[in-house]
Amino acid sequence: MVPTAGRLSADFPVYAPDLPGFGHSSKPFHALDVVALAEVLASWMTAAGLESAAMVGNSLGCQVIAEFGLRYPQRLRRAVLQGPTIDRFARTNFKQFGRFVRDLPRERVPEYFINGHDYLRTGLRRGWETMQIALADRIEDKLPRLSMPVLIVRGAHDPIVSRRWVEDLVRLLPNGRLTITQGAHTPNFSEPDSFVSVIRPFLRAAG
C-alpha cells in the first residue's frame, strides 16, 4: 500500500497500520479472524485519536473494512474496496492458489520480493490460518448492511477477483459503485497513479 499511501498523503492525513500478525506488528500464536482484526482496528483508531476515517483496503483488507463498517458504521465515513476477496466463484484453496499463480506475471517484479518478505515475516502457519479465515468470511453477507458510500475497484486484468464477482457486490451495496482501473490484483502497488486518480475524488467527498 506504500505507493498509494505516499501519493494520497499530499491531499490527506494517511495512516497505514500493520494489524497483529502482519508487517512489524506483534505476532500472536494464532491468526486473528476478521472480527478480531476489525476490533483491533477500532482500538487502534481510538488510541490514535481518530473518531472516524475513510478507509482504503486491498484483498483481505476489504474483508476487515467491511466487518469494521458493520460494527462501527459511524466511524467509517466511506470505503474503497480494491480487489475484494473472497470471490464466491472460487472459494476453495485450490482455486485461490490457481488464481494467485495466474496473477503473478501480471504484477510488477518488485512486488514478488515484497510479498515474499512479508509472507516469511508472517509465517507459513499463520499465513495458512489466515487463508482459511478469509475463505470462511462472506463479505457478500455484510455489504447489504453498509449504508456509507463504498467504491469497489477492480484491476482490469485481475484473475483473483472476477468482474462478475465485483458486479454482484456492487448490486448488494445500498450506496456503492464500481470502477475498473489498470493493473491486476494490486494496482495499489503496480499502478498507483491510475489507482489514486480513481479514488482521490471519492475520498475528497468524505470531507
pTM over 0.75: yes
Q: Kindly state the cell numbers that stand for 67.
A: 466487518
What is the number of alpha carbons within 13 Å of residue 64 lying toward its C-beta? 21
The whole-angstrom separation of Cα 27 and Cα 117 is 15
Please tell me the total count of domains within the chain: 1
**What is the C-alpha separation between 168 and 60, in angstroms, rounded?**
18
Q: What is the DSSP string of 163-185?
A: HHHHHHHHHH-TTEEEEEESSSS
The string over 91-111, giving b where at least 16 C-beta atoms fall within 10 Å of a residue's C-beta and e elsewhere, is eeeeebeebeeebeebbeeeb
The region of weakest confidence among 23-27, 51-55, 183-187 is: 23-27
Of the candidates 165, 160, 57, the residue with the CA atom closest to the CA atom of residue 103: 160
Domain span at 145:
2-204
**CATH code of 44's domain:** 3.40.50.1820
Q: Judge whether residue 15 has pLDDT over 90.
A: yes
Summarised one tens digit per residue, pLDDT across range 52-105 is 999 999 999 999 999 999 999 999 999 999 999 999 999 999 999 999 989 988
